[in-house]
Chains A and B, each alone.
Chain A
Amino acid sequence: MESRRNPRAVVDPKVRQVGFFTSSQPDSTHQPDPIASESHPVVSRNSLSPVMIPPPRHNSSDTFPLRAASAVSPSSFSYSTRRDFPDGSTTAASPGRVSRGSFSKPSSSSLPGVGMDSMAAAKSSSVPASGLTTVSVVVNMPPGLSEKESDQKKNSKPLKEKTTKAERRALQEAQRAAKAAAKAEGGKAPLVSSGSVASTNVKAAKPAKPSSQKNDVAVAAAAGPSEKKGGQTEKDRKKDAPHPRMQYDDESRVVKAKRRAVVKQTEAKNRVELFRHLPQYEHGTQLPDLETKFFQLDPMHPAVYKVGLQYLSGDISGGNARCIAMLQAFQEVVKDYSTPSEKTLNRDMTAKISSYVSFLIECRPLSVSMGNAIRFVKNRIAKLPITLSESEAKAALQSDIERFINEKIIMADTVIVKHAVTKIRDGDVLLTYGSPTAVEMVLLHAHELGKKFRVLVVDSRPKLEGQLLLRRLIKRGINCTYTHINAISYIMHEVTKVFLGASSVLSNGTVYSRVGTACVAMVASAFRVPVLVCCEAYKFHERVQLDSICSNELGDPNAISKVHGREDINYLDGLTNNANLQFLNLMYDATPSDYISMIITDYGMVPPTSVPVIVREYQKEHMLV
C-alpha cells in the first residue's frame, strides 16, 4: 500500500501537497489508515450519488478512544499553537492549511503540542509505527511548508479568501478548544452528549483533515463554505462530476454535517483502518431516540421520517424497495407542499428534498438506485416551467414520480422477466444468491410457464436473506435446495445457470451487489457456468469502481460477533471492546465483469461491456422524459 501511495503523491503536486501533508496530520484516524487518505483522490473522482449533502455523521468519535488520553493536554497546546499560527498560515487556503502550519511547528518542537496535535500525540503513542512516519513527515514539513504555502498561494487565489475564513474559524475553534479542554479533562465524554467536545476536538482535527479532503475533489460537502474548500480545479471538477461520496475520515466536513444532524449517531469503536472512510455507527442506539422525536420534527415531513426509520431498523431493504418507498414518500411531500412566500417552487422544493435526503442518508447511506431516482426528481423539479401554477406543478411532479416508478421499476421488471425466461430450459438447475427481487420474479414466472427446473438458494450470514426467497419459492411449489455460501464449490458442479441480482452495474461492467455475490460469480465462472445478472437500467451508473473497498457500506459489527439464538457458540462475547479485535461487516462487493456472462435489463440482454452505452444513450433520455 505504501508504494501505491507514493506515486500518487507525485502525480498532482498541487492537490497532493495539501493531501499528503494533511494526511500526515497527527490525526489518529488518518495515521493508521494512510490508504484511506491516499485513496481520497481516487475516490473523490468517483462520482456517486449526486445528492451528497454532507451527512451529519462524523467519525471523530471513533478517534476518541485513541485520542482520549492525549486529548487533554493537547487541547491546551492546540489552543495556543493555533493562535500562533493564523498569521503564519495566511497562505493556507483552508483550515487544514492553517493547522498544517500549526502542525509543523509543534511537530518539530514537541509533538504533543499541536492542535491536531492531540491526534499527533495520540497517534504517536497509540500507533507508533505509523505515528513515527507521520511525525517524520511532519517534521520535514516546516522547511518545506513555507514553500508549500507559497505554492498554494500561487496556486489558487480563491484559497486566499478561504484563509481568512479559516483563520476566523481557527480562532473560534481555539476558543472552543479551550472550553473543551476543561471538559475533556474528565476523559472521553459520552460521544453524543459531548457533542461540543467532539466538535471542538474535531475542529481541532479539522485543520489536518480539510486539506486531505480538499484534495479529494473535496467538494462533496454541499455546505457553502465547505464548497469553497476545494481549489479551482476541484471546482471545475465539481461542475463536471456529480458529488463524490463523503469520506468519513474528513473530520471537518463530518463536523459540519453533524451540526445539522437530526439523527444522533454514535460512532462505533474498533473500526478496521482500511474502512475508516466509511461511516460506521453503533446500531440500535438511534431508533428509540428518533422515535421520541417523531412529534417534534418540524422541518421533517412525517412520511420521510417514517421511511428513514424503516431504513434504520432494516424493515425495508433491497434496492428497489428502498427506492420505491423513498419515491412514495416524496410524492407525499409534494402533495403536502405549499410554496412559502417570496420563494420559488423550484428552488424551495429542491432545498426541501435535499434536506430530506440528508436525513435519509443519516439513517442509512443511499444506494445507487436511490441516488439516480433523486437525481431524476431534482431534474424534474428544475425543469418545471415557471408559468405553471402551484397545484399544476405539484400534480405534474407527482405524476412524473409515478411514471418513474411504473416505467423504470415495475415495467422494467416485467421486461426483464420476459427476456430471462427464454434462457431457462427444462431440466435446468438454477442457482441464486441472497434475495434479489428481479430473480425471484423470473423464477416464479418461469414456473408459471410450466418449465421444469429446480432452484438452489445460496445464503450467507448475517442477513440470511436467502431464507425469505426460499419461503416464497416453496410456497409456489418450486423444487428448492438451500445451502450456505461456504458450500458453493461443492454444489456448483450440478448447476447449469446462475442468476444474480445487482444493486448497481457500473460503467466498466462491474456488478456492485450484496456481499458474497463476487464469490458466487467467481466459482461459477471457474466451473464454466454462465452467470446472468438481472438488473433494471435505472440502477446503472457511470462511475467506475475497481475494488470493494473504496465505496461500500458497513453494517452492524455485532451481527457478526453474535449468532442469533445460539448462545453456546457466542465465543466472542466479552471481546467486542477489545482493542485488538475489529469487526468488519461489509454489505456490498464488486464483481468484475469477466465473471459475468450477460446482463438482463429492460433494454434487453446485453454483455457487460455495453453498460456504458446504455448509460450514455438512455440516462439522458430518462432525465428529460
Chain B
Amino acid sequence: MWRRSASFILDRTSNPSSPPMANNTTTQTPFQNPDAISAYYQTRAAHHHGVITSDWLAQAQAAVEQPPDDEDSSVSDHGNYEKSFDVIDEFNGWRKQPDLAEAVAAIRALAAVIRASEATTMMELEIELKKASDTLKSWDKTSISLTAGCDLFIRYVTRTSALEYEDFNSAKSRLLERAEKFGEISCKARKIIAMLSQDFIFDGCTILVHGLSRVVLEVLKTAAQNNKLFRVLCTEGRPDGTGVLLSNELSKLDIPVKLLLDSAVAYSMDEVDMVFVGADGVVESGGIINMMGTYQIALVAHSMNKPVYVAAESYKFARLYPLDQKDMAPALRPIEFGVKIPAKVEVERSARDYTPPQYLTLLFTDLGVLSPSVVSDELIQLYL
C-alpha cells in the first residue's frame, strides 16, 4: 500500500489485481462501498494511519507527474463497454495522490472520460459525462466535495457546450482545455487561499486548529515561510488522530504546537486568538460540514467572541441546505475505543457535523474572502 512504495500508481496499473489499500475493498466492487462506511472518511483514515511525512509527500508528488500517460494507455485499453469502470479506476488512481483533493481527482477523472470518449456530438458527450459523474457520485454518497466537484464540472461543461455552432472536435478540445484548467485552478486554490489568509495571521497570535485539512496546513506553512511568529493549538481529533499528524507536520516547520484533548477546547479558548478549520463541504446557507467536533468548537468560540475562519476551495460549495444536524446523509465511520464495548451499547458513529453560518466569521476561498451569506450568491450565479 502506501508504505510499500511511493509510486503506487505505477504498481496499480501494472498489477490491477493487487489490493491497493489494506482496509479498502473498493477495487473489488468499484460500483459501491459495501459497508456503507463513508469511503471518504475511510480514505482519510487510511491516509492517517500511515506516518505521512513531508518527504514522503514530495516523493509521491514526483511520482504523480507520470501517471497521465499511464492512465491514458490503460483507458484506451479498456474499450467502450468499460467506460464506467474507467471512471472509477481513473478516479481512484487520481485519488491516490495524497496532495490531491477528492473533487479535483474526480474532475481529472471526468476530463479523462472526455478524452477517451468516442461520442460524435455534444449531446452524446454530455450524456456520457453525466453517467460517469453519477457513477462517481454513487460510489461514495457521503462525500460532499466529490458531489459538488462533479456537479460543478458538469455545469462548466453544459455552459460551454451552449455554443453549438462550433464543430464537435473543436468543442471537445475546448472542453478538455477547460477541464484541465479547472483542475489546475483547483490545485492552485490552496495557494490562493494561503495567500489571502496571511493578512489575518499576525505576530504573536495563537491559532486553534481542528481536523487535518490540507488547506489549513498550507495556510500555516505559508505563514511560517513568511516568518510570522505564532503558535498553534491542535485538538487531538479522535478518532482519526488528526491532532498527532498535524503536530508532526507543524513541528517540522518549527511552529510551536500544543496538543489538546477534544474536551479541553473551552478550557483553552481564552488564550486563543482565532480558530482555523477546513471544510468537507460548504452549504448553501453559508454553513460548513466538517469533521465531528467543528460545531462544538465554533459554538465555544462564538460565545467567547473568537473569530472562526474557514478555509475552503470554491468547488466545495454544494447545493445542500441542512436544517439541523440530522438533515444530512449520514456518514458513519468505525470508532475504536481501545476497550471492549458491550453489545447493547450504541455508539454515535457519525463522522461529521454541520456548523450553521451564524457561528462562522469568514470563509477563505479562492474566490476571495467571503462572508457566509455570499455562498448562496455564488451558488445562484453558478447554477442558475
Contacts and interface: CB of A to CB of B under 8 A. Distances in A.
Contact of A609 (B319, B321, B376, B383): B376
B58 interface: no
A605 interface: yes
Contact of A610 (B319, B324, B380): B380
A607 B324 contact: no
B373 interface: yes
Interface string B138-180: 0000000000000000000000000000000000000000000
A605 B384 contact: no
B286 interface: yes
- Which residue of B284, B324, B357, B377 has the most chain A CB atoms within 10 A of its CB atom? B377
Contact of B373 (A532, A610, A614): A610
B323 A530 contact: yes
Nearest to A621: B384
B381 interface: yes
Interface string A401-424: 000000000000000000000010
A614 B379 CA distance: 11
A606 B283 CA distance: 10
A15 B334 CA distance: 70
Contacts of A598: 285, 321, 323
B327 interface: yes
Interface in B341-384: 357, 373, 376-377, 380-381, 383-384
Interface string A583-604: 0000000000000011000011
A382 interface: no
B380 A597 contact: no
Contact-residue size bin, chain B (C-beta under 8 Å from the other chain): 10 to 19
B285 A530 contact: no
Query: Which secondary structure characterizes the binding site on chain A?
Result: mixed
Contacts of B321: 598, 605, 607
B355 to A, nearest CB: 15
Contacts of B377: 610, 613
Contact of B376 (A423, A610, A618): A610
A609 B380 contact: no
B373 A607 contact: yes
A423 B384 contact: no
Contact of A607 (B286, B319, B381, B383): B286
Interface in B104-151: none
B324 A530 contact: yes
Interface string A526-560: 00001010000000000000000000000000000
Contacts of A423: 323, 327
Contacts of A497: 323
Given A598-B285, A614-B380, A604 B319 contact: yes
A618 B377 CA distance: 13
Most interface-central of B286, B324, B357, B381 (chain A CB within 10 A): B324
Given A597-B323, A607-B376, A617 B384 contact: yes
Residue of A530, A597, A609 with highest tally of chain B CB at under 10 A = A609
A617 B285 contact: no
B108 to A, nearest CB: 28
A609 B323 contact: no
A613 B376 CA distance: 9
A529 to B, nearest CB: 10
A603 B319 CA distance: 11
Nearest to A605: B321
Nearest to A603: B384
A614 B384 CA distance: 10
Nearest to A604: B319
B285 A607 contact: yes
Given A423-B327, A605-B321, A617 B284 contact: no
B376 A606 contact: yes
A614 B376 CA distance: 10
B380 A606 contact: yes
A407 to B, nearest CB: 14
Contacts of A603: 380, 384
Contacts of B384: 603-604, 617-618
A603 B381 CA distance: 11
Contacts of B383: 604
A532 B357 CA distance: 17
Interface string B32-74: 0000000000000000000000000000000000000000000
Contacts of A617: 380-381, 384
A10 B321 CA distance: 46
Given A497-B323, A530-B323, A609 B373 contact: yes
A146 to B, nearest CB: 52
A618 B323 CA distance: 26
Contacts of A597: 323
B22 to A, nearest CB: 37
A423 B321 CA distance: 9
Nearest to B384: A603
Contacts of A618: 384
A417 to B, nearest CB: 16
B1 to A, nearest CB: 39
Nearest to A606: B376
Contacts of B380: 603-604, 606, 610, 613-614, 617
Contacts of A606: 284, 376, 380
Contacts of A609: 373, 376
A459 B384 CA distance: 37
Contacts of A614: 380
B90 to A, nearest CB: 31
A609 B284 CA distance: 11
Interface string A563-591: 00000000000000000000000000000
8 nearest CB pairs, A to B? A609-B373, A610-B376, A530-B323, A605-B321, A613-B377, A607-B285, A607-B376, A613-B380
Interface of A: 423, 497, 530, 532, 597-598, 603-607, 609-610, 613-614, 617-618
24 contacts: A423-B327, A497-B323, A530-B324, A532-B323, A598-B285, A598-B321, A598-B323, A603-B384, A604-B284, A604-B380, A604-B384, A605-B284, A607-B284, A607-B285, A607-B373, A607-B376, A609-B373, A610-B373, A610-B376, A610-B380, A613-B376, A613-B377, A613-B381, A617-B381
Given A423-B327, A617-B384, 13 more contacts: A597-B323, A598-B285, A604-B284, A604-B383, A606-B284, A607-B321, A607-B376, A609-B373, A610-B376, A613-B376, A613-B380, A614-B380, A618-B384
